[in-house]
Every structure is written in C-alpha cells, then in structure tokens.
Amino acid sequence: MKNKRILSGIQPSGQVHIGNYFGMMKQMIDLQNDNKLLCFIPNYHALTSQNFGENLSYNTLDTAANFLSLGLNPDKSIFWVQSDIPEVAELNWILSNFVSVSSLERSTSYKDKISKGLKPNHGLFSYPILMAADILLFGAEVVPVGKDQKQHLEITRDIVSKFNSVFGDLLIKPKPLITELTGLVLGTDGQKMSKSYNNFIEIFCDKNELSKKVMRIKTDNSSLDQPKKTTGNPLFEIYSLFINENEKINLEKRFKTPGLKYSDVKNELIELFWNYFSIAREKKNTVYSDKELIIKILKDGSEKAKELSSPIINRIRKETGLKYTN
C-alpha cells in the first residue's frame, strides 16, 4: 500500500502492551515510509474509562514517548493529541444526527465492555460517533483496526453514506486495514488482550514483571506425552507474534510433537520478548525521557493536523448551515 492517507490512534490508558503494538502500532509504523500517516492520542476517548486529571495528562505524554520509542517518526508522520483539535468534538455532534440509536445499541464492543463491569454512560455508548469524527475530520482513506473495531468502522461508513446523501460527497468513506495475524491479539487468559481484562503484557516493564506475566499465560492440562494444540492457544499465539513464518511453522511442529514442556516455551518467550524491544527501551530511557521534546513534537503535529482538518470542517459548516456569514 502506497500514497494513502492512513489514520489511527492509541488511547492514553497507561503502559503500552503488546496487544497495542502488534494490533495497531507496528502496522502504523511500518506504513509511515510510503504513505501519509496520521497518528493521534485520543484522550477524549480515554474519559470513557474514568481516566481523569493528572493521571490522564501523565498517560498522554507517556503514550507519546512509547510511540516515538517504538519507531514512530514525526518527520514522516503527523502525530498529535486529540484534544488539541477541538473541532473533532464539533464534528462529533454534527455526525450524531446521522446515526440511529439502534445501530449504537448493536455495538458488540459496548455490550462486551458493559458485561465486563464497566459502568454504562453516554460517552461509552456514543464512542463510535467520536471515532467517526476522528477519522472523517482528516479525510482518512484507510484505517488500521482490530477485528473488534471493524464494526465501529462500519458505523463510520454508514454515517458517511447518510451524510453525503444529504450534502453531496463531502466526506471520504474510509476502508479498514486488518491483517490475519494482528487483527486480534490474545491476552494471557485467551481473551482479547486489554487493560480492562488485566490480561496484558507491558512492553516497558522490567524483566522480573515480564517473567511473572509470561508464566501466567493460560495453558491446557495436556500431559507431557500429548501433542499441544495451537489454535486458540494464547502461548502459541503470543510467541508467534515475535517470529517469522518459517519459525512459526517450526514452532507449530514442536507443539504437535509429544514431549513439549510449556515451561520451556515460556522461558524462551521471556528472552525473545526482552530482546525484541531492547532498542525501544533504550530510546525511552534516553531520547524520549525529555518531556519538553515530546510536547514540542505533539504541538508541531497538531499544527500540521489543523492544516488538514480546517478545509474539511469549514466545508461541513457551510453545507450544514452552521456558518451563517460570508
């Protein structure tokens, strides 16, 4: 894929984990060389999880440091914080008039979060509309999303159809980018990896904490002389994230051959994980430990983002009648 306007973001909800990285961040970083990459930190979205005050401001800068340390290049991309472009909240309100309550009620992500104990509120319920505003305000053509977010993008596409049927082809209908491997990253318990489920493995944790998390990865009760399953096996799936296709084939053979010890595989995974992110750890502890540098990068990015969003929101204001002067 080349020369596309690609947009996605990651919530500032605390330490970045491998589900964030392999599910979205790595794709974004890989795409920045040949495309117009738009990457933002959606701190408005973070409010749905009651992430307020100093905690939110700290996590915003920490998330930025994580992204930059992992390879995001501000010279090849536009990188900003959602709240630095307040027009996204304006567009959110405008778009809310082009989506039905029933379509939001059908959101599997909303129902899943409620079932996991999150308190229902309007922010959580209308999350897909704000996501649509994030995408449409900048004219994004492609959006990398996990399989669990694909339904939200379909809501965005439906909004575009309804809006454009009234006002003409003002909004671009974005396409999803989902890969087979990274669309959904399993957590240590076999569910989707998420901080909400406390089944995540942080990228920048110390080695002792990493060992504890890896050793807690759920495995079955098969005996030593039995072959081990690979499909839906969180240990196999997580290990596979760090290796190439040929190595994955060999790993699958090992799992299907009697005699494999899960403890051996977990110890291998600890070293594999630790070495994989060694350069990123060094960058975060040196270059991106400078708070003022990170703020400058984000502010510069917001100015570039405004250059993209201003023509779009101005056309929307004009066509909807919100702009009442010449």
Burial of 254: CB neighbours in 10 Å, binned 0-12, 13-18, 19+: middle
pLDDT in tens, 161-206: 999 999 999 999 999 987 655 558 999 999 989 887 899 999 999 9
Give percent of the chain with pLDDT exceeding 90.
77
- Cβ 6 vs Cβ 143: under 8 Å: yes
Amino acid at 222: S
What pLDDT, on the 0 to 100 scale, is given for residue 152? 83
Give the global pTM: 0.87
Domains of the chain: 5-184+290-320 (3.40.50.620), 205-276 (1.10.240.10)
Q: Considering only 85-89, 121-125, 242-246, 255-259, which range has the smallest mean pLDDT?
A: 121-125
Over residues 255-274, mean pLDDT: 97
24-43 pLDDT, tens digit per residue, is 888 889 999 999 999 999 99
**Structure confidence at residue 148 (pLDDT):** 67
What are the backbone dihedrals phi and psi of residue 296, each rounded to the nearest 5 degrees, phi first? Answer: -60, -45
Q: What is the residue-averaged pLDDT of the chain?
A: 92
Least confident residue range of 59-68, 148-157, 186-195, 314-323: 148-157
Helices (H) and strands (E) in the chain, counts: 16, 5
User: Which string of b and e fits 156-177 if b means at least 16 CB within 10 Å?
Assistant: bbbbbeebeeeeeebbbebebb
106: confidence class by pLDDT, cuts 50, 70, 90: confident
- Angle of helix 87-95 versus helix 127-136 axis, rounded to 10: 120
Range 290-310 average pLDDT:
97
What does the pLDDT read at residue 183? 57
Q: Is the pLDDT of residue 243 over 90?
A: yes
Q: What integer pLDDT is reported at residue 113 of this predicted model?
A: 76
Q: Of 51-55, 234-238, 261-265, give the lowest mean pLDDT range.
A: 51-55
Judged against a pLDDT cut of 90, whether residue 214 lies above it is answered with yes
